[in-house]
A and B are shown apart, each in its own frame.
Chain A
Amino acid sequence: MNKEKGYVSFILHAHLPFVHHPESENYIEEQWLFEAISETYIPLLLNFKKLEEENVDFRITMSLTPPLLYMLDNKLLQKRYIKYLKQRIELAEKELKRTTYDERLNNLAKYYFDRYSNDLHVFKDVYNCNIITGFKYFQDKGFLEIITCGATHGFFPILYVNEKTVKAQIGIGVKTYEKYFGRKPRGIWLPECGYIPEADKYLKEFGIEYIITETHGILYADPTPRFGTFTPIVSPNGVVAFGRDIESSRQVWSSINGYPGDYNYREFYRDLGYDADYEYIKPYIAHNGARINTGIKYYRITSNDYHKDYYNVQWAKDTAERQAGHFLDSRVAQINDLSKFMDVPPIVVCPYDAELYGHWWYEGPYWLYILFKKIYYDKCNFKLITPGEYIDKYPNIQVCTPCRSSWGANGYNEVWLNESNDYVHRHLHKAGDLMVELINKYPDATGIQKRALNQAARELLLAQSSDWLFIITNGTMVDYAKNRIKNHIGRFMKLYNQITTDTIDLEYLKSLEKLDCIFHDLDLGKEYFG
């Protein structure tokens, strides 16, 4: 292998909003987690394992957000995931019988039966129902660098009207990380890559070394960084910022010519839940009878029109291998070109939503596996690296203030602040102010009062999740998102009233502690809101 001229850093942001409904099994939103476990998290872990077994020295960075960690660690959701898997296996078994008329279809039914059966085995027998241990294993082995995120993915550029709420998002994100991984996080994925310089002091306070920003967070920095996104910059307050690379991102993200759109890949939008006879599929769709995805998809993208051919697993793998080669060649050329201009080895930062890999782009985890093998074995001018390793190797960094930015459409705040969702912010700000007031008023609370304060903080944090604002903007599942905001703000206000009038209803508090149980074991007091 040649001495590396540069580095490539893959960063996968794994996040889902906290969805936990012990009061009913009928919320299809809980399925978001189950789909992500089966299609993204377990496939990633299995591919990491294969790489380890094949002695491939790879590096990858992942943010596992606090809501995701608490959901993965939740006994009820673990139980429901097993039930979800058993239903998929049962459906695949039925499909094995139903599809005997067509060998190709029958083979695919067998494929799904095996895959979901293996998920069940991996989940229960290998990871004892908690896949966090799987990610921790690879971090401890040095292949994976896990970073943290805001407590509930609150969007800093809008929350920071009350800076203490940003402080709480950061501090509780760090605390959650320590709980699950037994050490401090080096980096943080700013929710939605929303950067504001005002957050730097809190990032430093809680020991964060680096952040990831959108491309223009670096390009529009002040002063202009010498080498754009190809070296990190450090803010005057000492927070290192890495910027997304445009070229490599586009090869994967682009909805027009990105890799996931290849005709051989599995078609996401053709699912048995929509295609099958209604009475036949009814036990496997939503309780109210609405057709939803089942995870069993028989078609490949095929073309841009409605006609779809059956999915062929081998063809899809061949395509992934070809595209991994293309990506590798592109980075080799890019780093060759860059090194002519630069006096330090460049870093090409490739951040993506983790759920793109597997959930949206079904073959994504396999593509990563092949790519990492190729990078390790092929003659290559770069190495994989994590941001933490890069700043350890090259600690001399240009001082610039990153630009206020996000990775939402058009690069700033309009996804989370527009005519469809702007009514929410006054309530988030008011609840934030009241939370700070509560903490200042009852700094040494104990007993039931302390429990009520912690629960009020949970309600506030859950209301702050950027996901609800995003969903409202997007126009789908809007009722669910709006209700979540109303419920958390409503519960917060009710608790505020009870705390300040010394009329805390213990039974009500217990009920909320069960429903909104994120951070159930953390003290959310003055350390964060004070």
Chain B
Amino acid sequence: MVNPHFVEVNIPSDPVFERVVRAIAAEVGEALCFTDERVDDLKLAVSEAVNNAIEHGNKNISSKPVEVVFALDNDKLEVRITDQGEGLGSNQRVDVWDRVRVVEEDNLEQGLLRSFGMSLIKALVDDLEVNSSQKGTIIVLRLYRKGQTE
């Protein structure tokens, strides 16, 4: 595989279709001969990014599509997830990069049971880029192949 190969899909902003993207991610990971664990990591990272795009980017407006592009080359898999939202505010940008979210007793008491997605993505992929503007947010996940295939 010398030149990049692309798999592209556009889904409505409905969580049902996240499962479709997840299934594609699994097939792509297997096609790249990723280990089973690496495929599981890929599926979860893509799931979180797509759900963020659906819920926080496109606000669950099903007519707004989420675009997902898998770019495969010799060295890596790059997954680009694009929503059509209004972008991240400055507080959210800090949150995306700095917060490491784990289950904490205080949060349980207050009923704060969500927001683990970005922490998981950061832990599961090799590289993460977030580019946001008033036209939407693009999240790029990169998983390198070296030492991660079977």
Q: Do A and B bind each other?
A: no
